[in-house]
Amino acid sequence: MRRLIVVIVGMFFLALATPARAEKTPKVVWTDISIASREKRPELERFLKQVVEQQTRRADWGAKRPSPLEARFEVTEWSAVIGKDVVRVTCTGVGKLKGGQSVRSHFSMGGRPADRGVLERQLLTMLGRGIVSRLADVAREK
């Protein structure tokens, strides 16, 4: 019985500690997350938004500010060149903090044409992680 009470009290204090930690970090609002491409690919945009949101929660954005940080993320170049036995996917992305510096990343990878979807998601994950973490570095320096 005593052990159960200790566990319940411990869980209570852990639940109280979590919101306090969240209040110390600034809120980040993404005004635009888009992929510039000739063909519309809404499933890739949804995937990129998930990656960016997840990475935003993980990144250290510095001390809390009175107003939220506004940022935008745009994949400016997106292409997939398919050969007979290889596909080459290239992407370039730009991230910008409102009133601040912008960051840019470029990735290019090749693989089997049957794995094109996996390759595209891998590149978007790398691009999203890189740009969000670099924007967090810029925000901490401000």
| Residue 128: how many other CB atoms lie within 10 Å | 26
Q: Which residues of the chain have pLDDT under 50?
A: 18-22
The pLDDT, as a whole number, for residue 36 is 84
Per-residue pLDDT, 61 = 92
**3-class state of residue 136 by DSSP:** helix
Instruction: Please give the model's pTM, rounded to 2 decimal places.
Output: 0.79
Looking at residue 20, its pLDDT comes to 46
Q: How many CB atoms lie within 10 A of CB 9?
A: 10
Of 116, 81, 82, 91, the closest CA to residue 35 belongs to 91
User: 33: part of which helix (H) or strand (E)?
Assistant: strand 28-35
Residue 132: per-residue pLDDT: 96
Mind listing the domains of the chain with CATH numbers? 26-141 (3.30.160)
Residue 142: predicted pLDDT: 74
